[in-house]
């Protein structure tokens, strides 16, 4: 993926290093001390403040639930200080997630976000995750066991 803007390069590296689960502890290199995270979902959109530390913990929690997962950036568009990214991540559900017991079967999550970058750090993002698609897979996995 060829990205020439500095914001684009920051986001690509963040996704490939941190969001991918390879080195979540490196989040402080890419995230500002306080990041506005807009959680976009139809039933309860909200904005929370993320720190590099709690972002790192979120990734570690995902690894506990789905093991080390494959992460692929499927789309990337950069313009000015904003970068749109879509990704696909696939792991095996090795831990309990909400009401779903560990099935050890594959689960794929599709997500996307627009990141805003300033001075080489992500300062804000708007994220959408296909939670319903993930839930359907988990329900299917429970019935398949």
CATH number of the structural domain spanning residue 30: 3.10.450.50
Whether 121 is in a domain gets the answer yes
Kindly state the percentage of the chain with pLDDT values over 70.
79
Position 103 scores a pLDDT of: 61
* Tens-digit pLDDT profile for residues 46-56: 999 999 999 99
Residue 34 has pLDDT above 80, yes or no: yes
Whether 1 is in a domain gets the answer no
Position 90 scores a pLDDT of: 84
Range of the domain at 23: 6-144
Whether 13 is in a domain gets the answer yes
A 10 A CB-CB count for 1 gives 10
| Residues 76-99, mean pLDDT to the nearest whole number | 82
pTM given for the model = 0.84
Residues 29 and 36 sit within 8 Å (Cβ to Cβ): no
- pLDDT-based confidence at residue 117 (cuts at 50, 70, 90): very high
Domain count, the chain: 1
Whether 101 is in a domain gets the answer yes
Whether 60 is in a domain gets the answer yes
Whether 81 is in a domain gets the answer yes
Whether 74 is in a domain gets the answer yes
Residue 38 has pLDDT above 90, yes or no: yes
CA–CA gap between residue 109 and residue 22 (Å, rounded):
17
CA–CA gap between residue 28 and residue 17 (Å, rounded):
12
| Residues 35-46, mean pLDDT to the nearest whole number | 88
Whether 128 is in a domain gets the answer yes
């Amino acid at each position: 993926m060829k990205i020439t803007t500095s914001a684009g390069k920051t986001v690509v590296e963040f996704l490939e290093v941190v969001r991918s689960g390879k080195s979540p502890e490196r989040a402080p290199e890419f995230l500002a001390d306080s990041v506005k995270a807009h959680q976009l979902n139809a039933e309860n959109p909200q904005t929370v403040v993320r720190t590099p530390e709690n972002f790192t913990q979120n990734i570690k929690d995902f690894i506990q639930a789905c093991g080390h997962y494959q992460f692929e950036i499927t789309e990337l568009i950069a313009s000015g200080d904003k970068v749109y990214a879509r990704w696909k991540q696939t792991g095996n559900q090795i831990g309990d997630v909400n009401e779903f017991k560990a099935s050890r079967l594959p689960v794929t999550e599709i997500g996307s976000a627009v990141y805003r970058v300033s001075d080489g750090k992500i300062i804000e993002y708007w994220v959408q995750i296909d939670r319903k698609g993930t839930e359907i897979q988990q329900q299917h996995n429970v019935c398949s066991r």
